[in-house]
Amino acid sequence: MNARDFIDEARIEQVLHEARRPDAGRVREIVAKAKTITALTLEELAALQCVEDEELWEEMAAAAAAVKRTVYDNRIVTFAPLYISNHCVNNCAYCGFRAENSSQLRRHLSIDEVRAETAVLAGQIGHKRVIAVYGEHPETDAEYIAETMRAIYSVREPSRCGYGQIRRINVNAAPMSVEELRVLKAAGLGTYQVFQETYHHATYASVHPRGTRKSDYAWRVTAMHRAMEAGIDDVGLGVLFGLYDWRFELLGLLQHAHELERVFGIGPHTISFPRIEPAHNTPFASAPGWPIDDATLRKIIVLMRLAVPYTGMILTARERADVRRALLPLGITQTDASTRIGVGAYHDSRAEQEAERQQFMLGDTRSLDEVVRDLAEMGMITSFCTAGYRCGRTGACIMELLRSGKEGQFCKLNAILTYREWLDDFASEATRAAGEAVIARELAEVAQLMPQMYPRLCEQYARIQAGERDVYF
């Protein structure tokens, strides 16, 4: 910004070089700061990265879980990725969609096909949120993306007791201009997601060939500045773990979050944690230079929950079911289910993964019903709430609520209502039974912690049981 690269690689390297293993007292001081829902400094995060004592790591993990509970309660928000096009002009070394991959089956959906995909997601599975994914290509410009968004929002599908409808669309797409982003905002964009992939400049250049749009590091790293200027105040950051040293990448993520707070007063709405997964005809993806094992991914989740305690954190179906089960309680707030990442794969009803149609291979293809039941058995409530977005609780407004701990309590009410709706409309008998136990506990908790809200909650709850839909505070 103003010719200044806010990803200060020299400073990151210096902080990493000077970081030393902290004593237990210092670790606990840093963790105590995180518990106040205050972002850490680079030096504090680097210190936590140096911890070697396993008992301290378990204290940090417990603190991360406590921070998540304070800010977001015990909710997990679910969504589905909706791949709309795999045409791409870029040649990213790790990606199955790269332009030179001639064995990839290319497709971009017509508007009718977008509606057909949405009908399955909303009417048969019961999703309320999607993240629409687009390759970078002239066919999928801002006007096309906006048109597909309007098509998604237009679909209402009958369900067992009510109807299915997508109520929030997030978008994962290429960096755009402020003018283009205003087009998406007008179409109802929720969160705008652009992952830097790697904050390390030399590595970025090595995996994004010169002459492609994506080779422009500066254009990509400033994408969120343009989004905020366009009025999109919910933005999602992430890196692709495996491209470079994860310690450097975490400090890069933290610098990016600090920059957004400095300029706009708002940090990232979400941070995601994708690892490189095998992809069809993509040798690099099967042998990344900096592979991340499960134990390291656990550390990454714990560290970022403490470093940026206010932000939502996303762990996707790239990961195996057992990995997600172990990591969700440590700070994750969102995950996907019934995931298909082939273009047109929901309506086509393909049960098996097809490598030549996908950007990468998934680790977990369980249905939404199975994931909801699993979460219930872990003591978590699945939230299908989108009320905050539609009521204007975004950006600075929601950040204040998150930092104060009020958002977690407020959203508990809407989580209960949307959970009841989904259980009635879409759940199997086994999942409904598991969900009933969760709802009973949640209702009792509201009665105890928020007695002034309990009567109104019961009124809203009864309206849903009577067949009304999309009821929220």
pLDDT 10s digits, 252-311:
999 999 999 999 999 999 999 999 999 999 999 999 999 999 999 999 999 999 999 999
Topology (CATH) of 69-366+377-391: TIM Barrel (3.20.20)
Residue 399, pLDDT > 90, answer no
| Bridge pairing between strands 163-164 and 157-158 | antiparallel
What whole-number distance in Å separates Cα of residue 444 and Cα of residue 138?
53
Name the token pair of 279: 């992809």
What whole-number distance in Å separates Cα of residue 314 and Cα of residue 365?
16
Residue 405, pLDDT > 80, answer no
Domain-by-domain residue ranges, the chain?
A: 69-366+377-391, 397-465
Average pLDDT over all residues of the chain: 95
Any idea how long the chain is?
A: 473
Do residues 313 and 271 lie in contact, with contact meaning Cβ atoms separated by under 8 Å? Answer: yes
pLDDT 10s digits, 50-60:
999 999 999 99
What whole-number distance in Å separates Cα of residue 16 and Cα of residue 45?
10
Residue 61, pLDDT > 80, answer yes
pTM beyond cutoff 0.85: yes
**Cα–Cα nearest to 343, from 97, 136, 159:** 97
Do residues 347 and 113 lie in contact, with contact meaning Cβ atoms separated by under 8 Å? Answer: yes
What whole-number distance in Å separates Cα of residue 121 and Cα of residue 128?
8
What whole-number distance in Å separates Cα of residue 5 and Cα of residue 357?
37
Residue 162, pLDDT > 70, answer yes
Predicted local confidence at residue 352, as pLDDT: 81
What whole-number distance in Å separates Cα of residue 341 and Cα of residue 358?
6
What whole-number distance in Å separates Cα of residue 19 and Cα of residue 22?
9
Do residues 280 and 362 lie in contact, with contact meaning Cβ atoms separated by under 8 Å? Answer: no
Predicted local confidence at residue 294, as pLDDT: 98
Do residues 256 and 271 lie in contact, with contact meaning Cβ atoms separated by under 8 Å? Answer: no
Predicted local confidence at residue 397, as pLDDT: 65
Residue 393, pLDDT > 70, answer no
pLDDT 10s digits, 15-26:
999 999 999 999
**Cα–Cα nearest to 145, from 161, 133, 128:** 133
Reported confidence tier of residue 49, pLDDT bands at 50, 70, 90: very high
Residue 1, pLDDT > 80, answer no
